[in-house]
Copies of this chain bind each other. A is one copy, B any other.
Amino acid sequence: MNEEKVKELLRESGLKVTSQRLMVMNILASHPDSHLTAEEIYDLAKESSPEIELATIYRTLQVLLDLHLINKVDFDDGFARYELNGESGASGHRHHHAICTKCGKVYSLETDLLDTLEQEVFEKLGFMVTDHEVKLYGLCRECRSEKTNGKKL
């Protein structure tokens, strides 16, 4: 995702290119798979622009969501989290997440094996899938080995 494309997309949509918007994009780009919250983005943004406000972060994230430049994900911890939407633009499929129910760690998955499911949904319901979000819950390798070593879950 290069910066020129972001600027172009903003202009095409009648929006203005501002340093704050580029900064949020850059922060998300430089923290892949971090699933940052608005507050975490805010803290990172303050490092180079101490005068920035959390409200601006929220407004910026909404703009970037509308442009499908980023995705919002939710891991049930009370925070909305954000990640870059690959290089996909409006039509891309986001990747999946595996969430360990013991340690809470989140793994990002690149595989995309939902084509069969999506086709079936289209045939049965007439529902045309354009995007999907998959969350797998379970135990990661480390937590599984702790469990085997005698600890209780």
Q: Which residues of A contact B (CB under 8 A)?
A: 72, 74, 76, 96, 98, 100-101, 107, 109, 111, 113-114, 116-118, 120-121, 125-141, 144
* Complex copy number for this chain: 2
Interface class of chain A by DSSP: strand
Checking B98, B113, B135 against A116 with a beta-carbon cut-off of 8 angstroms, the contacting residue is: B113
B74 touches A129 (CB 8 A): no
Checking B96, B101, B121 against A136 with a beta-carbon cut-off of 8 angstroms, the contacting residue is: B121
B130 touches A132 (CB 8 A): no
Query: B residues within 8 A CB of A136?
Result: 114, 117-118, 121, 127, 129, 131-132
Query: B residues within 8 A CB of A132?
Result: 134-137
Assembled-state Cα–Cα distance A40/B117 (Å): 31
Query: B residues within 8 A CB of A107?
Result: 125, 127
B141 touches A137 (CB 8 A): no
Assembled-state Cα–Cα distance A135/B130 (Å): 11
Assembled-state Cα–Cα distance A32/B61 (Å): 34
A126 touches B144 (CB 8 A): yes
